[in-house]
A = this chain, B = another copy of it.
Amino acid sequence: MKIIQGGVTAAKGFQASGIHAGIRKNKSKKDLALIVSEVPAQAAAVYTTNLVKGAPLSVTKENISNGIAKAVICNSGNANTCNANGIEVAKEMCSMVGKALNIDPADVVVASTGVIGQPLDLEPIANGMDALVASLSADGYPAAEAIMTTDTKPKEVAVEFEIDGKVCHLGGIAKGSGMIHPNMATMLVFLTTDCAIDSKMLQKALSNDVQNTFNMTSVDGDTSTNDMVVVLANGLAGNTPIIAEGAAFDTFMKALNTVTVALCQMIAGDGEGATKMLECTVCGAADLQTAKTAAKSVICSSLTKAAMFGADANWGRVLCAIGYSGAKVDVSKVELHFASKAGKILVCENGTGVEFSEDLAKKILLEDEIEILIDLHSGDAKATAWGCDLTYDYVKINGDYRT
């Protein structure tokens, strides 16, 4: 298993493109992305659990109900959510792609991200379709750029792995900076692989993986209406198709997890206004759910996030967040370290503070990737959650997002 250059086109037989079609006013921002597999791909997806669901999600769900997709269309700048004509507009986007690529519109995955509750104008998309198809290439970067909203950088990653002697690839792109607190799925993530795997096993792999990756990531506690993770597997690596659990499935799961964890770290580190990526690992828990609940509570605590912004080793806020998490924890056993590449420092053990060097703590917390390491000393279960600090810029970005 090794990490390689590229993202959504790292796997054989995938092309992608991204252009500025005019959905967003700023002409320097791309706003329309297309991903195409040269052969029909097995498809699986997970979606937001928000009761308010973006129209594109319903259309995608219907389109991949047969486990097959050939293309993905995604626009930024408008979420096509809470609009009376949302379904109609999402279907029309699929029809445009179907016509341009000469494929069945029902083999198209459609996604939208941006402001909620403003009708999405189809004209720029119709006008841009020829250019979008003409610029399809083996470079996935323009597509990663085109799905960004308040993201400050494109997010892509890919891995290479072997299954029964065949070299396989799995890569993906993600967007997500605000309204990040996925539940069952995340912001928009598009994954592609040339590994041959049946759509049912693909869905199983994805559904399991998101529980420990995207669902453990939070920027602001707001679960979006448009969260979606889609994976397309076109089988061009030539391995014996994975149709059941076993060693090949395990290898695939590991490849998937390598890519999704990297994307979670990128999403968290690029959280709206963030200056730091926070990674909270809880070990020594009585069971997995306890570890996950405690880790996620720490990552979601506004007070902890603000303290990290200020590089303040205010460990009482971390303990407080464990205490109200709902997890059954014996707080008198909790041990807590802060760590970064500048070092590691013990700040609390047996649930009470210990003397520590404020200077070293400051130095550690001034880094841009911080680890919050918690040992509950009550068992063997372990979980990690990803988040970011709470900054002035988060408020600035969200105080006038629409205007």
List A residues at the B interface (Cβ < 8 Å): 48-53, 79, 81-84, 115-118, 178-179, 181, 183, 220-225, 300-303, 306-307, 309-310, 312, 314-317, 319-324, 329, 331, 348, 351-353, 390-392, 394-403
Contact = CB atoms under 8 A, between A and B. Distances in A.
B82 A319 contact: yes
A353 B118 contact: yes
Contacts of A329: 51
Contacts of A307: 398-399, 401-402
A398 to B, nearest CB: 3
Given A222-B303, A225-B319, 11 more contacts: A116-B317, A118-B353, A222-B317, A223-B323, A302-B394, A306-B395, A307-B399, A307-B401, A310-B400, A392-B392, A392-B396
Q: Which of A225, A303, A320 has the most CB of B within 10 A?
A: A320
Given A222-B302, A222-B303, A222-B324, A352 B82 contact: yes
Given A220-B303, A306-B394, A52 B225 contact: no
A222 B398 contact: no
Contact of A52 (B51, B310, B351, B400): B351
A319 B116 CA distance: 9
A402 B314 contact: yes
* Number of copies of this protein chain within its complex: 2
Given A52-B319, A82-B316, A324-B222, A302 B118 contact: no
Nearest to A53: B323
A401 to B, nearest CB: 6
**SS of A interface (majority):** loop
A222 B117 contact: no
Contact of A221 (B83, B300, B309, B394): B300
Contacts of A398: 302-303, 306-307, 310, 390
A324 B394 contact: no
Contacts of A300: 221
Contacts of A320: 50, 52, 116, 179, 222-225
20 contacts: A48-B324, A51-B322, A51-B323, A52-B320, A52-B323, A52-B331, A52-B351, A81-B316, A82-B316, A82-B353, A116-B316, A116-B319, A117-B316, A117-B353, A179-B303, A179-B317, A306-B397, A310-B403, A312-B401, A392-B395
Smallest CB-CB A-B distances: 6 pairs = A116-B316, A310-B399, A52-B323, A306-B398, A223-B324, A117-B353
